[in-house]
Amino acid sequence: MASSTFDTLLQKIETRAARAGIIGLGYVGLPLAIAVARSGFAVTGFDIDPGKMVALEARRSYIDAVSHEALAAEIEAGRFQATTDFAGLAACDVIIICVPTPLTKHRDPDLSFVEATSRSIARHLRPGQLVALESTTYPGTTDDIVKVILEGTGLKSGSDFFVGFSPEREDPGNQHYHTATIPKVVAGDGAEALALMKAFYGAAVSAVVPVSSNATAEAVKLTENIFRSVNIALVNELKTVYAAMGIDVWEVIDAAKTKPFGYMPFYPGPGLGGHCIPIDPFYLTWKSREYELPTRFIELAGEINSAMPRYVVGKLAEALDIRAGKALSRSRVLVLGLAYKKNVADIRESPSLRLIEIIEERGGRADYHDPFVAEIPPTREYQALKGRKSVALTQEAIAGYDAVLVATDHDKVDYAGLSKSASLIVDTRNVFDRLGLSAGHVIKA
């Protein structure tokens, strides 16, 4: 049966007759759905959030990487539709899982979304389907969890249906690369599953990179993010050491990166944000315990990066004491930038939330300004901050704060005007130096 099932599905994919189902219409799923639809497939998007359905019905994108016009074009062409009814999975020939994989409060993997989604697929599984996971996770998840749940139906992977893994590589705010132009690593449970993965993703993206197993593909994504986490931790640690020596780490990095080989610049900051780098490395540390192997680099990097918000607030308190003669506990602070990176509205795991929390734990009052985030939405860890609104960045408002803490260097900010209006600025992104606005009241942290 495997040959005829495989041949039929491969032909459907190659002729664009296959319908794709994308589960999870967030930062990964919606851009992928539009890219797949643009390549000629009919796409059904699935999500449990009725608010997303309302937005999509109105042709309104809630993801920066997908314009309203691009969304409307695919809907009006009949290539994209969205629903909360997972019964529609039965009509899909290719099903892609793009759901969150967070950590528990003990830094253990939380695969509840992957498991629940796999069970939903199992209820509608039929012969002749390809199911692929994109969510970042530890090596073995696709084969040991997704495949096992699906085979609980009595159907068999590699003969009745096919299973694969292709790690998402989205980079919110990146103007140079988008879903269709980023090479896609693909893997499958067996040669036929891999061939189907190559055919499907190869139709939607510029290049596919096949690897030998699902576990290998899962390890690729972890390696990419661990690489960034460890190197960011290194420069964060260098920042603290060089600051104690009176050396500017930013100047050091700028000079070091002139070397045309053997060096790649990474930059310090107030902490790590985004869904990937602060979280994904711990999927490997958890899995490594099964093999009784330590992951000292990864865990140390996590400790250093997690300590950065408290270090920054310490520098803020020191600057207030020395420059303004005022304790943090009696100060009003404006945190500039709530998003975890510049020019996006994404606040997932943003260190700005932790900065606000620490400032207020120490008795200060913290507000924020962010041109992309008008109000703090509900978050799992910072429920007390829900509903706070971005303050206007007027001259009068700025003058009312004892310090401005630059956490995210959005381009949509008048830094020259800010420098003139603020009495004290603590800059974690080196933005004032980069813009030639260095001044005595601008302190790097």
Residue 230 lies in a domain: no
Catalytic residue from among 34, 82, 204, 276: 276
Residue 226 lies in a domain: no
pLDDT at 267: 96
Residue 237 lies in a domain: no
pLDDT at 390: 98
303 and 186 together in one domain:
no
User: In this structure, what CATH number is given to the domain that contains residue 254?
Assistant: 3.40.50.720
The domain tally of the chain equals: 2
pLDDT at 240: 97
387 and 437 together in one domain:
yes
10 and 71 together in one domain:
yes
Structure tokens at 200: 């499907």
Residue 222 lies in a domain: no
- Answer for the pair 142, 174: CB distance below 8 angstroms, yes or no: no
pLDDT at 335: 98
pLDDT in tens, 322-366: 999 999 999 999 999 999 999 999 999 999 999 999 999 999 999
- Answer for the pair 185, 99: CB distance below 8 angstroms, yes or no: no
pLDDT at 1: 42
Angle 264-269-271 from CA coordinates, rounded to 5°: 115
92 and 208 together in one domain:
yes
Residue where a domain stops, chosen among 190, 212, 234: 212
Give me the domain span that covers residue 122.
Answer: 2-212
Could you give the residue ranges of the DSSP H alpha helices within 39-108? 50-57, 68-76
pLDDT < 50: residue spans in the chain: 1
422 and 373 together in one domain:
yes
Residue type, 419: S
264 and 186 together in one domain:
no
Catalytic residue at 92? no
143 and 275 together in one domain:
no
Nearest to 305 by CA among 276, 337, 328, 273: 273
Residue 389 lies in a domain: yes
Residue 228 lies in a domain: no
How many Å is the Cα radius of gyration of the chain?
A: 24
193 and 250 together in one domain:
no
363 and 295 together in one domain:
yes
Residue 241 lies in a domain: no
pLDDT in tens, 257-303: 999 999 999 999 999 888 788 888 999 999 999 999 999 999 999 99
pLDDT at 2: 55
Order of strands, sheet of 332-336, starting from the edge strand that comes earlier in the sequence = 365-369, 332-336, 403-406, 425-427, 442-444
199 and 302 together in one domain:
no
pLDDT at 277: 81
Please, what is the end-to-end C-alpha distance for the chain in angstroms? 63
46: left (phi over 0), alpha (psi -120 to 50) or beta: beta
pLDDT at 381: 87
Residue 235 lies in a domain: no
